[in-house]
Amino acid sequence: MRSKAVTQGKIADILQDRGQLDEALRIYRQEVFPAFERLGDVRAKAVTQGKIADILQTRGRLDEALRIRQEEEIPVYERLGDVRSKAMTQGKIADILEARGQLDEALRIRQEEQLPVFERLGDVREKAAVLFQIAQVKLAREEYPEAMDGLAQAYAIVEGLQDAQGLAHVGKLYGQLLCASGEQARGIEVLEKAAGAFTLLGQDDEAQAIQTIIRELQGGKPD
């Protein structure tokens, strides 16, 4: 039964990645979750609930997704003492709160619940991701010095890791803000690395858009 449930879960994962959300949701709900429930596997049930919530969240069904994360996932990870999974789920709760405009609570969760956990675990990649998310909220609140400080910390981490995703997304924002704050040479350097990272990721449109920004900053004209 377990191997069948695991296989069905992998099939649903593939369908979800392909955008076939209806069938993925059906498999998670009707095949995978009931199997793990019969097996009494509380962790696998919580993980499956999280995947169901991911689809609901993608579809904008935020209240349903939030209920699952708060009532079905978080309590399980707390009982299991799984602080990392709890922190990851809290991040998804914060995403929902941000989408609903509840920036204060989303920021509190990221700063007080997520960030300290990843610092204790020594998970610098996730720490950088949270710092980037915090900085984006700070920007939305026009708290520019705090946003720049968080972006600088996040960028230092992804640069040290040579993490293409981080160099691309953190670098795109950080580089533009550096230029806007008068540090154009450093900002362009960061943007060049971001463009290269997007190229490495196969996102050529993003890379070209950044190159256009760089040309404009240097006094040239966009294509």
For residues 80 and 131, membership in a common domain is answered with no
Q: What confidence tier does 222 reach under pLDDT thresholds 50, 70, 90?
A: very low
**In whole angstroms, how large is the CA radius of gyration of the chain?**
20
The full length of the chain comes to 223
In a domain, 200, yes or no: yes
Residue 96 belongs to domain spanning: 1-106
For residue 77, the domain's CATH number is 1.25.40.10
Per-residue confidence (pLDDT) for residue 94, from 0 to 100: 96
Burial of 84 (0-12, 13-18, 19+ CB in 10 A): middle
Average pLDDT over residues 55-81: 96
In a domain, 114, yes or no: no
Q: Is 170 left (phi over 0), alpha (psi -120 to 50) or beta?
A: alpha
For residues 138 and 166, membership in a common domain is answered with yes
For residues 28 and 89, membership in a common domain is answered with yes
For residues 179 and 222, membership in a common domain is answered with yes
For residues 87 and 154, membership in a common domain is answered with no
User: 127 near 115, Cβ under 8 Å?
Assistant: yes
Please state the domain count of the chain: 2
Q: What is the pLDDT of residues 110-162, one digit of tens each?
A: 999 999 999 999 999 999 999 999 999 999 889 999 999 999 999 999 999 99
In a domain, 132, yes or no: yes
Is the pLDDT at 223 greater than 60, yes or no?
no
Per-residue confidence (pLDDT) for residue 197, from 0 to 100: 97
Domain's final residue, options 80, 106, 132: 106
For residues 84 and 132, membership in a common domain is answered with no
Q: What is the pLDDT of residues 181-203, one digit of tens each?
A: 999 999 999 999 999 999 999 99
User: 190 near 171, Cβ under 8 Å?
Assistant: yes
Is the pLDDT at 221 greater than 60, yes or no?
no
Average pLDDT, the chain: 94
Rounded-to-integer distance, Cα 84 and Cα 121, Å: 8
Is the pLDDT at 88 greater than 60, yes or no?
yes
What is the percent of the chain where pLDDT is above 70? 98
For residues 130 and 184, membership in a common domain is answered with yes
Domain's final residue, options 106, 140, 160: 106
In a domain, 218, yes or no: yes
For residues 70 and 154, membership in a common domain is answered with no
Domain's final residue, options 106, 134, 152: 106
Per-residue confidence (pLDDT) for residue 218, from 0 to 100: 85
In a domain, 188, yes or no: yes
In a domain, 117, yes or no: no
Rounded-to-integer distance, Cα 131 and Cα 170, Å: 10
In a domain, 163, yes or no: yes
For residues 8 and 92, membership in a common domain is answered with yes
For residues 98 and 138, membership in a common domain is answered with no
For residues 96 and 136, membership in a common domain is answered with no
Among 9-13, 61-65, 212-216, 219-223, which is the least confidently predicted range?
A: 219-223
Rounded-to-integer distance, Cα 135 and Cα 144, Å: 9
Per-residue confidence (pLDDT) for residue 220, from 0 to 100: 58
For residues 99 and 6, membership in a common domain is answered with yes
